[in-house]
Each structure stands twice: as C-alpha cells, then as structure tokens.
Structure 1
Amino acid sequence: MTGDGLPTILAVDDEPSLTTLYEAWLADDFRVRTASSAEEALELVAGESFDAAMLDRHMPGGTGDEVLSELRARDHDFPVVMVTGVEPDTDIVEMPFDDYLVKPVGKREVQRTVRSLVVRGSYNDHLREYFALARKRAVLEASCDREALENSASYRELTAAVDDAETRADAARAELLEDGFEGTTPDLG
C-alpha cells in the first residue's frame, strides 16, 4: 500500500485508452500505475511495490505471459489477473496468475476482480502472520514451564498478537466469502 493507504495496482496494456479506462474505473479505491509495454511494466515493478496487477497477454515487445514469469522469477508474489482478448486454452494451466478475464470487460467486473485480488493478497499476508505467531506460541508452550509463561509479559503480548492476527485473517476471509469464494479458504477456528 502507498502512503495514502490505497492499494497500488499495476495495469499493463499496449492500448493506452484501456489503461486510462482501468485507472478511471479503479481510482476511487486504488492507486493505479499504468504501463503500455512489458519493459515499462518491469521497470515500474523494479522501483515500486504493488498489491495486484492487471496484465494483457499480447503486447508488442513482450507478452503479459513473459511479464508474469519475470514477476514470479523476481519473487513478486502479488496477485495478478490476466485481462486479455485471448480465449483461455490449456496453455494457462501452468501460468501463475490468480484470475483471468476475457475482453471486453466492464467496469463492475474489473472493480470486483481487482478488489478480490487485493483482499486475497491481504488474506494471504494475514494468514502467514497468524501461522508464524501461532507457531511461536506453540514452540514456547511445548518447551517452557506453564507458570513461567503465564508470568511472562512477552508471552502475554505474543498471545494477544496471535489473537489479533487470527481476527484480521478471519475478517479478510469473511470479505472473501462475501465475494463468492466459499470453499476456497481454510477455517481458522
């Protein structure tokens, strides 16, 4: 997220009218950075942090597929939606994207998809944080005296942090379920 608190989205398409349209559609809830080529997209990603990306598959000078492969090779794990005129085929099975939209796309579809990507990304972060903290607590509980733990301010802070992380993960999960992703997220309870 940027300093203004808005998630940052990368929109890549060789048609500037489309990236301008995506930017207008998403401007109320997201900071949108646009690129019109694979090279420009990779330059932006090298210098900025993104919460999600929209990639066109076919562009002169480099494809969205190549950009996606390079993003993953550089360990950028933010969610990506392919927004393209290319009908999906079995070639997409091995591609590490999170969603796929076939053009033409509408405003609501783009807004819903990008919002969902950002929520899924935050859910992953919250879930990762929860499991890391819960594991620390489990290690301490397995190796330390219960009375010593109960008297430890650090342990009490850790327990509170676990509870907070679980609450944040559950809230993100609930938001995902509202968007129709029932059955795709594990129950933390």
Structure 2
Amino acid sequence: MLNSNSGDDPLLPGHLLDSVSLLSKKWHPAIIRCLSGNDENGFSDIQGRLDGISAKVLTDALAELREYEVIERREVSQSPLRVDYTLTERGAELNEVITSLADWGEAHLAEPASEQVVLVADDNARVSTMHTAWLEDEYTVRTARDGEEALRSLETDVGVVVLDRRMPGLSGDEVLEWIRSQRYDIRIVMVTSEDIDFDLLDLPVDEYLTKPVQQDTLRSTVAELFERREYDAQLQEYLALQSKIALLQVEYSDESLESNDEYQRLRGRLDELEPTSEAIEDADPETFERTPLENTS
C-alpha cells in the first residue's frame, strides 16, 4: 500500500500528492479559471460567476488558495472597503495545467455523441433513395421496402421513422399501430400521396407530410422530431395534435371544420394540453412558430 504521507515513493512523490489534493477540491479549479478570464474579481463578482457556491465556502477556498500563494488579495478602496483577487505567477502556471486537464477530459472522458438513427420505410425505391440522400449527411439512415421489413429494422436505437402510409403487405397504418402498441420512444412522420382527410386525427403520428415532399421540409421535420424526443409526453402530444389541426385548417374551410365533431373534440383536447410557460421555455421556440393555429371556434 502506498504511503500518501511520504515523499520517498518514486511513483507518488509528496509534491504530486499535494498538487492533486489542491486540485481535487471542488471549487479550487473553478475559482482559478474564473480569475484568469475576468477583470472584475471582487468577492461578489466571483460568487456571482460560480453558481451554487456559498459565501462561507468561497471565503474558505480563497483563504486556502492564498496560503498556497496561488492567488493574492489586494485592497482596491478603503471607503467603502473593496478587495480584489488576482492570480499570482504561480496561479497563472496552475491555470495552464487546469486548462490542459480540461482539454484532456473533453477529448478522452466526454460521453460520445449519441448516434441519431432514422428509418425510411417506403416501397418506392426512387423516393426511398432520395429521402435517404437528403438525410444521411446528418443521421444514420436505414431503409425498409415494406411494412414487414420496417418492423424487422426497428431496433431500440431508432429515433425517427419516415413512414410511407401505403406499402405492400403491412401498411404504414399497421406499422404505426404496432410501434405505438409497443410504447417505443420513436417519433413518426407519416408520408403519403393521398388527400388529407379527417381520419388523420385518429392517427397517432407526430407529423404528416404529403408527397412530393421537399428536401428542406423533410430535413426540418426530422430535426424537429429528434428535438421533441427530449420533451415530456404532454408536450409531445400537444405538438403532434397542433400539427394535425394546422394541416386540416389549410385543407378545409372553417364551415367544414366547425361541423366536424371529431375536429371540435380535438380542439378541446388541444386547449387542455396547453403547455406552461416553463415547458415552452425549455423547448425550441421555433417549434411553436412552425405550425401557427387559426382561431377556429
């Protein structure tokens, strides 16, 4: 067992242990970094920049860093009393070490960026190839030529499915129903060449696009659906319903919408799901600008 109090061990000399002890304190490296990049370094300035540090902890930490001659304290004015803290030459050298450690940690210890996987399910080979080409620069794209292959391709890493509604064998509606029955955390954009109908309201999709789909539309829709995966269930339901209602408002007259009971029921559901201001602040603000709703009573 290594003796941490001895400077005789060639692997862990005493001065190394002292250095590690200094840097292992929670707030010491943060204080040093804070002092290195700012001109105003009074006590309240430092505390304001370090979220969560108490006055007592900051006082103790500053005192210990002064003992190590890493920082120095000087009076800026006496009436009122104002003091300022700066790095010593020793502290500036230590800051370079901390910066190197931070860079090393970012390169070797940071969590790898999670892969974003899109499944494009469409029996039209030309459309599938085109949609894949539009998305593959940003995502890992898998393809399926029919409903059965789409189900076989559904693994836990799939985040978004671009789903053709009419495919041989299992239809897009059936694939959609199966995915929802399994409660997978997958966002789904249904793509179809059919006219928009009120049955859209019963489909548990997140977005609905009509062919031919434009490149920018598909890319922005998929990006938004990956963003929505981070939202809570209520906000996801609200945005999906908002998108459907906005689409129907484009396709149908106010008179047709007012006379449709299902549409009116879902308008009421949309009002129930109205997100709080906190939920909106946590979401991408552009999400609420893409599908503005008309006032339809």
Give yes or no for TM over 0.5: yes
Task: Quote the residue 1:37 is aligned against.
Answer: 146
Higher alpha-carbon deviation: 66-75 or 48-57: 48-57
Any idea what SS the aligned residue of 2:148 has?
A: helix
Task: Quote the residue 2:131 is aligned against.
Answer: 22
Task: Quote the residue 2:22 is aligned against.
Answer: none
Query: Any residues of structure 2 matched to 1:70-109 within 5 Å, and which?
Result: 70-109=178-217
Task: Quote the residue 1:66 is aligned against.
Answer: 174
Query: Any residues of structure 2 matched to 1:108-187 within 5 Å, and which?
Result: 108-124=216-232, 173=283, 176-181=284-289
Shift of 1:121: 1.0
Q: TM-score, normalised by structure 2?
A: 0.42
Q: Taking structure 1 as reference, are residues 102 and 118 closer, same or farther at Cα in structure 2, changes over 3 Å only? A: same
Shift of 1:41: 0.4
Q: Taking structure 1 as reference, are residues 124 and 7 closer, same or farther at Cα in structure 2, changes over 3 Å only? A: farther
Q: Taking structure 1 as reference, are residues 12 and 75 closer, same or farther at Cα in structure 2, changes over 3 Å only? A: same
String of CA shifts for 1:128-186, please: whole Å, max 9, x gaps.
xxxxxxxxxxxxxxxxxxxxxxxxxxxxxxxxxxxxxxxxx88861xx212444899xx
Q: Taking structure 1 as reference, are residues 172 and 105 closer, same or farther at Cα in structure 2, changes over 3 Å only? A: farther
Q: Taking structure 1 as reference, are residues 183 and 124 closer, same or farther at Cα in structure 2, changes over 3 Å only? A: farther
Shift of 1:20: 1.4
Question: Are the aligned partners of 2:147 and 2:167 in contact in 1 as well (CA < 8 Å)?
Answer: yes
Give the total of aligned pairs. Answer: 138
For 1:33, give the aligned amino acid. Answer: R
Q: Which runs of 5+ in 2 are unaligned?
A: 1-111, 236-278, 293-297
Task: Quote the residue 2:37 is aligned against.
Answer: none
CA separation in 1, counterparts of 2:281 and 2:120?
27
Task: Quote the residue 1:144 is aligned against.
Answer: none
Question: Are the aligned partners of 1:86 and 1:102 in contact in 2 as well (CA < 8 Å)?
Answer: yes
CA separation in 1, counterparts of 2:290 and 2:145?
35
Task: Quote the residue 2:160 is aligned against.
Answer: 52
The structure with the largest alpha-carbon Rg is: 2
CA separation in 1, counterparts of 2:232 and 2:171?
27
Could you tell me the percent identity over the aligned residues? 36
Question: Are the aligned partners of 1:80 and 1:98 in contact in 2 as well (CA < 8 Å)?
Answer: yes
Q: TM-score, normalised by structure 1?
A: 0.65
For 1:66, give the aligned amino acid. Answer: E
For 1:60, give the aligned amino acid. Answer: P
CA separation in 1, counterparts of 2:201 and 2:116?
28
Question: Are the aligned partners of 1:6 and 1:29 in contact in 2 as well (CA < 8 Å)?
Answer: no
Shift of 1:56: 0.6
Q: Which runs of 5+ in 1 are unaligned?
A: 128-168, 185-189
What is the root-mean-square deviation of aligned Cα atoms in Å? 2.5
CA separation in 2, counterparts of 1:114 and 1:101?
11
Q: Taking structure 1 as reference, are residues 172 and 107 closer, same or farther at Cα in structure 2, changes over 3 Å only? A: farther
Q: Taking structure 1 as reference, are residues 16 and 4 closer, same or farther at Cα in structure 2, changes over 3 Å only? A: farther
